[in-house]
A = this chain, B = another copy of it.
């Protein structure tokens, strides 16, 4: 079922806080609104492929790492 969005959101939040960034900083750097980041972290929706690429860039990690769960 649709658990991927929630797992991804949780993982992204972990990585963002580890990087000591606020949702607002991440939103600005990625180029989306803070609400969008909030929605992604809460599993409301996932990022587009372009946004996914930018998130990894801003967090300075391989995209792969965003899909490492547990």
Chain A positions near chain B (C-beta within 8 angstroms): 2-5, 8, 45-50, 52-53, 62-64, 67-68
Contact = CB atoms under 8 A, between A and B. Distances in A.
A40 to B, nearest CB: 9
Given A3-B53, A5-B49, A62-B67, 12 more contacts: A2-B50, A4-B53, A4-B63, A8-B49, A45-B49, A46-B48, A46-B50, A46-B52, A47-B49, A64-B64, A64-B68, A67-B67
A45 to B, nearest CB: 7
The copy count of this chain in the complex is 2
A50 B64 CA distance: 17
Contacts of A50: 2, 4, 46
